[in-house]
Chain A
Amino acid sequence: MSGYTEEYLRQKLTERLEATHVEVIDESDGCGGKFRAIVVSTQFQGKPLLQRHRLVNAALAEELKTIHAFSQKTYTPEQWANESKD
């Protein structure tokens, strides 16, 4: 499969999106084909959901050619602070 690891994707997303918090979970039992990600970045501020997801997709454009299942949640730091409270 793709061979990408949680750590590799986490680092890439953190760098590309200047993210303050990134969680990546491999849901493919290690085969590297299916991931779930949470990204928290100030770059998402004032952007609708579609634009946020496009930023994430763009950051992983190369990887998404071989990763065939990718689920994402995007938050601004404030939204994330509220989310973590619950």
Chain B
Amino acid sequence: MNVLGRNIAQNLLRYNRCGLIQSVAGRNFSASALDAKEVEKLVKNNKVVVFMKGNPDAPRCGFSNAVVQVLRMHSVNYDSHDVLQSEELRQGIKDFSSWPTIPQVFINGEFVGGCDILLQMHQNGELIEELKKAGIESALVKEAEK
């Protein structure tokens, strides 16, 4: 999903040894971060918004994949943004949330956390509550009622 219209060509991406994808040439021309107002617009555009590596159909990192799988279990509709497509967005979202890593999950415009926190909230039932506050009924609740 390239909401920012700044598409770094796929052939500029490469895997290094630990699976980190770096945009080799991308860094040179887009080292600046997206400003807070623009990030805020993205964050508030939907009840659930995820910033990840890759997209929900093809996550490109295990942590991002874990977030996608959890949200799928709850049948949540959400916006997803691929930080690998934009170095500006990748830096902008880190600055915005004061959180150093990707993925990042927002519910109702509020930063919820990364993969560890979402997993833990999934396990202890908190995620169902947070979704409910945002007016979303988790598929796991519907299933339990049957």
Contacts and interface: CB of A to CB of B under 8 A. Distances in A.
B145 to A, nearest CB: 27
Interface residues of B, number: 18
A15 to B, nearest CB: 19
A61 interface: yes
B45 interface: no
A34 B18 CA distance: 8
Contacts of A50: 111-113, 117
Nearest to B102: A68
Nearest to A68: B20
Contacts of A54: 98-99
B20 A73 contact: no
A72 B17 contact: no
A54 to B, nearest CB: 7
B18 A72 contact: no
For the side of the interface on A, what is the size category?
Answer: 10 to 19
Contacts of B75: none
Contacts of B120: 49, 73
Interface in B98-140: 98-101, 111-117, 120-121
A71 interface: yes
A81 interface: no
A53 interface: yes
Interface of A: 1, 28, 31, 33-34, 49-50, 53-54, 57, 61, 64-65, 68-73
Interface of B: 17-18, 20, 61, 63, 98-101, 111-117, 120-121
Given A31-B17, A64-B101, A69-B63, 17 more contacts: A1-B17, A33-B18, A49-B117, A49-B120, A50-B112, A50-B113, A50-B117, A57-B100, A61-B100, A64-B100, A68-B18, A68-B20, A68-B101, A69-B18, A70-B101, A71-B63, A71-B116
25 contacts: A1-B17, A28-B18, A31-B17, A33-B18, A33-B20, A34-B18, A49-B121, A50-B111, A50-B112, A50-B113, A50-B117, A53-B113, A53-B114, A53-B116, A53-B117, A57-B99, A57-B100, A57-B101, A64-B101, A65-B100, A68-B20, A68-B101, A69-B63, A70-B101, A71-B115
